[in-house]
A and B are shown apart, each in its own frame.
Chain A
Amino acid sequence: MDFNFTEEQEMVRDGLSRLVREQYDWETRRGAVESDAGWRPEIWAQLAELGILGMPFSEEDGGFGGGAVDAMIVMEEFGKGLVVEPFLPTVVCAGGFLKHAGTDAQKEEHIGGIVDGSRVYAFAYAEPRGRYDLADLQTTAKKDGDGYVLNGHKAVVVGAPWASHLVVTARTSGGQRDRDGVSVFVVANDAKGVVRRDYPTVDGRRASEVYFENVSVPTDALIGEEGGALPLVEQVADEAVAALCAEACGAMKVAHAMTVDYSRQRKQFGVPIGKFQVLQHRMVDMFTEYEQSVSMTYLATLKLDAPEKERKRTASAAKVRIGQAARFVGQEAIQIHGGMGMTDELAIGSYFKRLTILNSEFGDVDHHMKRHIKLA
């Protein structure tokens, strides 16, 4: 048993920590979030330079041979700075599909662009009526000569306005919620028939409603097995869950530190409010929630390679625990900041908002509790 990071991992962590500290202060982030672009491609280029975007890929694929623990380290640092650049959809999700199921030709086609930062991906999995069920798909892909034709509507596709490519789940056969019949495709974002409606999200990112209107893709756009890709989608979603948990830990850590700091500075009744026991105990509870979340994030991350059932159950357990913790830490952070916590002037509101929305991504607490029960 060893909970230490390797020397290399410590270096990655320090490098990212410095990048976030020096270039991602909250005011700068706000400027970027409110700009037309909504993100900073120059940060993306730096992440490529630092090797972050290539980290999880094997050396033979052009990456640096990292694993899930490395992704966890990256996401935790990103959580601390509320980084909006699309590491999760590009590297964790699209990268995950390619690593697990990409053909040599597909790896060749896509991974180089991810590693050098020239390609950005979004993962279009959710649908307007599907809630959090990855198999609940109305988007269809019909075999057509040498390829497929996609039709359907994907909901709240995070990062789609920035993406060069979309990874799309679609049904090649079967009924709306069947486990069989699910397939995965990579589609160029500017392909004919891809129609997007872009918008900002309440937590500082950009997303789109994406409509596929008779979008033709070649056969080699298919990643994994036609009609048999649900287990692959679930695996990548669990990896995304573990990454989100790590991001939540970073955000909770900072939200807690800001709250404790505020309670030291803010005086009422002649003393810092941090002297009031009722607030002290709540800040202790926030800290406890954070520590429990870190533990669950480690567990989920280290079990990503476990047998399927164990992996799924652990990922869901982590998402449940972190969802509950993120809610508590976010709400108490605002409450203890009082009126100031309600203003757009302090960073704490942005942490609260991210912790809120993060809770629903890739399934909320109830969704993962049900999954945990079913897998018992």
Chain B
Amino acid sequence: MNLEFTAEELAFRDEVRSFIEENYPKHLGDAGMREDMSPEDMVAWHKILGEKGWSVPSWPEQYGGTGWTPTQRYIWLEENARVNAFMPLPFGVSMVGPVIYTFGSEEQKERHLPGIRSGDVWWCQGYSEPGAGSDLASLKTTAVRDGDHYVINGQKTWTTLAQYADWGFFLCRTDPDAAKPQEGISFILIDMKTPGVEVRPIKLIDGGYEVNETWLTDVRVPVENLVGEENKGWTYAKFLLAHERSGIAGVARSKRAVEKLREIAGKELLDGEPLIEDLDFARKVSQLEIDLAALEITELRTLAGEQAGKGPGPESSILKIKGTEIQQRLTELTLEAVGNYGAPMYGQIEDAGSNQYPIGPDYAQHSAATYFNMRKTSIYGGSNEIQRNIITKMILGL
């Protein structure tokens, strides 16, 4: 057992580091989770990585994966986090992509995987419904077979960035009479330009519009857009959720955010001294670092297990719970650090870039909005209560 990188791994690190330094779009700057990013900016790095062949590192090599070891993938994420890179969105790369190459037809692979790799095709996820959140299996959207089409009707919600999406993957009920609700669900790909698909934005508490309601009214979808077998969609959805969870820890990004928090707390003053030298505040930052160190090694253990052939198991729920708690705590401490300047609603302030008097330091901007926004992380991707239920059932056997 050891934690050292080998000479080869160090060489790999240098290679990706210089690639990122040379190619990461400078104008994205320290974008990270900036609220005002354009859709073009959100896929800019994805497209560059697509050309390089690095956009889907974890996929099998035959579908365009890089064949990197888990350690290399870890290094890759770390190096990207160093510049706070805006990574490829997960909907294609880590969600529908793996479902398609694992369960999809040859035609589906040929048709969809290239666009996911290149970043040219934007995907969204149609899972949750107003009445089916934590209890996802109770979903009501129906897909009724009509000749060589499905006719789809229903309402999805929390469809992230669907306003920009070209395609969506949807869970629909194909057998309303199945013995268990999980057994009558199918996994269907829908071209978002199909007549009857309507996307309505939802405004969130931070003032942003990142999720939508998606209404499906008599949407006709060719049967070849069914992934895998009819009524087996729940299996694919569970497969996908486990994948989503393993990526959700966000360790590399949180490490960068801790550095940033230390920088901010080094500039803020308390009694004329840097805030970071205040024991009360420093203790909270250290606690966060300690929790993050534990999470990082836990994630590496999980990755190593995956390398040894174990799929992501119920342990990945630990990564989701701890990862999101840490992300939330980071934004909370950042808000705390900036003191009075947490209050201004920067998103609503006009001429922020003009020569008017500035409102607080740059690093205070959006600190409250980010804190509000990150409350979503313990709710989405299977709420943290649901993750605890999974561990209760699958690991504790209760």
Give A residues with C-beta under 8 Å from B: 126, 128-129, 131-133, 136, 155-156, 158, 176-177, 195, 197, 199-203, 207, 209, 211, 267-270, 273, 276, 278-279, 331, 334-335, 338-339, 341-345, 349-350, 352-353, 356-357, 360, 364, 366, 369-370
Is the CB–CB distance between B138 and A156 below 8 Å?
no
| Complex Cα–Cα for A270 and B181 (A) | 12
Contacts of B204 in A (CB 8 A): 342-344
Question: B344's contact among A129, A133, A207, A370, by CB below 8 Å, is which?
Answer: A207
Question: B343's contact among A201, A267, A343, by CB below 8 Å, is which?
Answer: A201
Is the CB–CB distance between A360 and B340 below 8 Å?
yes
Nearest CB to that of A208 among chain B residues? B359
Question: Can you list 5 residue pairs at the A/B interface with Cβ under 8 Å?
Answer: A156-B344, A200-B345, A209-B359, A268-B132, A339-B128
Q: How far is the CB of A26 from chain B (nearest CB, A)?
A: 13
Give B residues with C-beta under 8 Å from A: 128, 131-135, 138, 157-158, 202-205, 207, 211, 268-272, 275, 278, 280-281, 335-336, 339-345, 348-349, 356-357, 359-360, 368-369, 371-372, 375-376, 378-380, 383-385, 388
Nearest CB to that of A363 among chain B residues? B339
Nearest CB to that of B157 among chain A residues? A339
| Complex Cα–Cα for A72 and B335 (A) | 28
Is the CB–CB distance between B138 and A268 below 8 Å?
yes
Question: B341's contact among A155, A203, A331, by CB below 8 Å, is which?
Answer: A155
Contacts of A341 in B (CB 8 A): 205, 375, 379
Is the CB–CB distance between B203 and A199 below 8 Å?
no
Nearest CB to that of B344 among chain A residues? A199
Contacts of A344 in B (CB 8 A): 202-205, 207
- With most chain A CB atoms within 10 A of its CB, the pick from B128, B157, B205, B268 is B205
The DSSP consensus for interface residues of chain A is: mixed
Known interface pairs A199-B349, A343-B202, A345-B203. Does A131 touch B343 (Cβ–Cβ under 8 Å)? no
| Complex Cα–Cα for A199 and B340 (A) | 14
Is the CB–CB distance between A360 and B375 below 8 Å?
no
Nearest CB to that of A327 among chain B residues? B332
Is the CB–CB distance between A132 and B379 below 8 Å?
no
Q: How far is the CB of B162 from chain A (nearest CB, A)?
A: 14
Nearest CB to that of B338 among chain A residues? A360
Question: A353's contact among B270, B272, B372, by CB below 8 Å, is which?
Answer: B372
Contacts of A352 in B (CB 8 A): 205, 372, 375
Is the CB–CB distance between B379 and A335 below 8 Å?
yes
Is the CB–CB distance between B357 and A195 below 8 Å?
yes
Nearest CB to that of A34 among chain B residues? B348
Known interface pairs A211-B357, A338-B379. Does A360 touch B342 (Cβ–Cβ under 8 Å)? yes
